[in-house]
Amino acid sequence: MTAAAGYDYFDVVADVGVVAWAPTLAEAFAQAGLGVFALIVDPRGVEPRESREVRAQGESREGLLVHWLNECLYLHDIEGFVVNRIEFAVFEEGRVHSLLWGEGLEPGRHRVGTLVKAATFHQLLITESPGRWEIRVILDI
């Protein structure tokens, strides 16, 4: 049985894909974000010591997702911030305001994984079925 919310990966030549699902679109976005950060560092070793705000806008759901994920990656690139929990203070059509809970990267303590450059629009899918939203996004690594 599949969990109500979660994320997994799928194979893509030279890149990596994340598939995320949840009962609501906001939760599916959060699971996609967690899936991206789990590639960067094992989230089991990340403690929610502090939060960072990430905001994004987009003219479509797909644009909003890509812009938001890339803002999250920018936060990681600039501050070395890694994440184990994501919440949305605002999740509206065209804009989001999220809180990412985690801490600064400590290579001696955190298991560092894959360098993720960006989320892409390539083969991006956001679908809804009864009680479930699913996101498939390819990441440039």
How many angstroms separate the CA atoms of 53 and 59, rounded? 21
Span 63-77, mean pLDDT? Answer: 98
Please name the fold of domain 6-140.
Archease, Possible Chaperone; Chain: A; domain 1 (3.55.10)
How many angstroms separate the CA atoms of 140 and 15, rounded? 5
pTM, whole model, 2 decimals? Answer: 0.92
Which tens digit of pLDDT belongs to each residue from 15-53?
899 999 999 999 999 999 999 999 999 999 999 999 999
Q: Is the pLDDT of residue 1 over 60?
A: no
Exposed / middle / buried, residue 108 (Cβ in 10 Å: 0-12, 13-18, 19+) = exposed
3-state secondary structure of 45: helix
Which tens digit of pLDDT belongs to each residue from 85-112?
999 999 999 999 999 999 999 988 998 9
Q: Is the pLDDT of residue 128 over 90?
A: yes
SS (H, E, C) 18-35: EEEEECCHHHHHHHHHHH
How many angstroms separate the CA atoms of 59 and 48, rounded? 31
H or E stretch covering 17: strand 15-22
Letter string b/e over residues 22-45, b meaning 16 or more CB atoms within 10 A of that residue's CB: beebbbbbbbbbbbbbbbbbebee
User: What is the CA angle 95-97-102, rounded to 5?
Assistant: 145
Helices 61-79 and 25-40: crossing angle, nearest 10°? 30
User: What is the CA angle 36-40-42, rounded to 5?
Assistant: 100
